[in-house]
Structure 1
Amino acid sequence: MATPFLKWAGGKARLVPTVAAGLEGLRVERYIEPFLGGGAMFFGLRALGLRTPAILADANPELIATFAAVRDDVDGVIRALEPLAEAYLAADRTGRRELYYRVRACEPAAAAARAARVIFLNHTCYNGLYRVNRRGRFNVPHGRYARPRILDEANLRACAAELADAELRCADFAEVCAEAGPGDFVYLDPPYHPLSATANFTAYTDRAFGWSDQERLAAAVRGLAARGAWFALSNSAHPAIAALYEGLRPRVVQMSRAINSKANGRAPVAEYLFGNVG
């Protein structure tokens, strides 16, 4: 069974059974995910039997390129990642830090090597975050994991198999949603509207996801419903989000934060799940 090969803040593995239950009895012909992230929902639903054609999209070009390399050349990704994993795990703390920043600064030409770089950094950076600066450069500092699982060959191959019939796109969510209609199920997991000023983190690409994007997203979701597509949307349990989706009664779900620097930050947090399934 394939599981996400990238750690991703806000990953939805724990939400998969809830979403899958809502799809029971529906004849879904295509799965669409405009905010791919680590792909937890895609891999989770595939494991539970939703084996339809898929469109997987994200606005982050490096992320989509990494998924494409795993799909199209998993052997090359494994070959490029293996020496990085071996060197890192064999090094002392200073050596690991030096290797991390050397890899972070490089720009490999080959697609497989670029994907290996992303996977390596994701598993050795601070707190498993993915964050870029305004120039689109990954800028998360080095982490301190004792035995990070940098290379999981069996899972990478399982992920490649699940991605074999998926279409991967680097695209804005509105473009992807506009294609959905009857028979399609769209799962949307956007950068969340922050619950407080200090909780504002939307730097997965070189352009932050602001309130105007939340408004565009709400319009796209209403378009999905009008065209007869099924959808489910996750977002923060914030009054402004409830108002934005007025008329779509949300379910409140408890989700823990698997990636957090403080243990008490991993406690369950209430989130909204909107949709027209289940």
Structure 2
Amino acid sequence: MAKQKNKLTQPFLKWAGGKRQLLPEIKKYIPKKINTYYEPFIGAGAVLFDLQPKKALINDINSELINTYKVIRDDVDNLLEELKKHINEQDYFYEIRDLDRTPKYKDLSDVEKAARIIYLNKTCFNGLFRVNSQGQFNVPFGKYKNPQIVNEIVLRAVNHYLSNNEVTILNGDYETAVANATKGDFVYFDPPYDPVSDTSSFTGYSLDGFNRDAQIRLRDVFVELDKRGCKVLLSNSATDFIKDIYSDFNIEIVSASRNINSVASKRGKIDEVLVMNYELKR
């Protein structure tokens, strides 16, 4: 782990299933000694930015998200300049949002695409990243008085961390991302959650959704990593299905606040599980 952690290194996006609320619980279960840290469903990166490991491999299936990580690492000055051009105004918001429905989108530079994603995330309703079945961003305007579109301090801190440590950034399948994980490495899985009810399924941030067959495939990867001697931690919803498929491992039930839900009554405390293949020495 990095000796001196920078508290300003924190998520630069709000993300469905983001782990800020659960961090105090997750931190209790992280092994003291880690060779390489793997996070194959990186999302907003709350756990990565809290741990700040010197050697890490992060991955996500979402190419827009991974482009943003790479731009922050490689070109933060131009990203900040680009962000300053964006304004918190409804017609302008829809113009920028709808770019991915036009041929113009493919002409955007990586910096412009990253700035667009950060801008939409800061100004859209409830700070949600969601795409429709065509992969187009489809969250409405948020009508916030003064959203922080340009958070230079956080973006520079994230740039500093990603640039000054050995962090590999991939955009692909989670199983490929952990292909080289070996004994002494630590893998944290934060997949799309098993829905607590039929209506709560939030599969909007990856096009293919993540059904129960996908959860079983992930469990099989978890088992394979266990056999390799990796330490593996997974978070998910505390459904009977998840508790059943991971019944051979250590399961802790934890409560987390969930603020990202378009239905206000669905926000609040929900039970989640932390599954691990190791005992922590208390």
In structure 2, distance between residues paired with 1:265 and 1:33: 28
Report the equivalent of 2:117.
118
In structure 1, distance between residues paired with 2:262 and 2:130: 15
Q: CA deviation at 1:173?
A: 0.9
Residue 152 in structure 1 maps to residue 145 in structure 2: no
In structure 1, distance between residues paired with 2:133 and 2:264: 30
Report the equivalent of 1:170.
171
Which is further off, 133-142 or 113-122?
A: 133-142
In structure 2, distance between residues paired with 1:20 and 1:53: 18
CA contact (8 A) 1:133 1:206 kept: yes
In structure 2, distance between residues paired with 1:13 and 1:162: 18
Give CA-to-partner distance per residue, 1:45-92, whole Å, 9 cap, x none.
Answer: 12xxxx3211010011111011110111011110100120xx32xxxx
Q: CA deviation at 1:16?
A: 2.6
Report the equivalent of 2:214.
213
Out of 31, 36, 44, the position equivalent to 2:37 is 31
CA contact (8 A) 1:231 1:276 kept: yes
State the secondary structure of the residue aligned to 2:118: helix
In structure 1, distance between residues paired with 2:213 and 2:177: 18
The residue identity in structure 2 corresponding to 1:267 is G
Q: CA deviation at 1:263?
A: 4.6
Within a 5 Å distance, the mapping from 1:197-276 to structure 2 comes to: 197-276=198-277
State the secondary structure of the residue aligned to 2:21: helix
Residue 104 in structure 1 maps to residue 100 in structure 2: no
CA contact (8 A) 1:203 1:209 kept: no
Residue 4 in structure 1 maps to residue 11 in structure 2: yes
In structure 1, distance between residues paired with 2:95 and 2:263: 28
Q: CA deviation at 1:235?
A: 0.5
The residue identity in structure 1 corresponding to 2:10 is T
Give CA-to-partner distance per residue, 1:121-144, whole Å, 9 cap, x none.
Answer: 011111111111222111112112
CA contact (8 A) 2:250 2:277 kept: no
The number of residue pairs the alignment matches comes to 264
Query: Which segments of 5 or more consecutive residues in structure 1 lack a partner in the other structure?
Result: 89-95
Report the equivalent of 1:15.
22
Out of 53, 65, 68, the position equivalent to 1:66 is 68
Q: CA deviation at 1:110?
A: 1.2
The residue identity in structure 1 corresponding to 2:14 is K
CA contact (8 A) 2:16 2:128 kept: yes
RMSD: 1.5
Within a 5 Å distance, the mapping from 1:56-95 to structure 2 comes to: 56-84=58-86, 87-88=87-88
The residue identity in structure 2 corresponding to 1:185 is F
Which is further off, 119-128 or 104-113?
A: 104-113
The residue identity in structure 1 corresponding to 2:30 is L
State the secondary structure of the residue aligned to 2:131: coil
In structure 2, distance between residues paired with 1:211 and 1:262: 24
Q: CA deviation at 1:31?
A: 0.6
In structure 2, distance between residues paired with 1:251 and 1:139: 35
Q: Identity, % of aligned pairs? A: 40
In structure 1, distance between residues paired with 2:85 and 2:129: 22
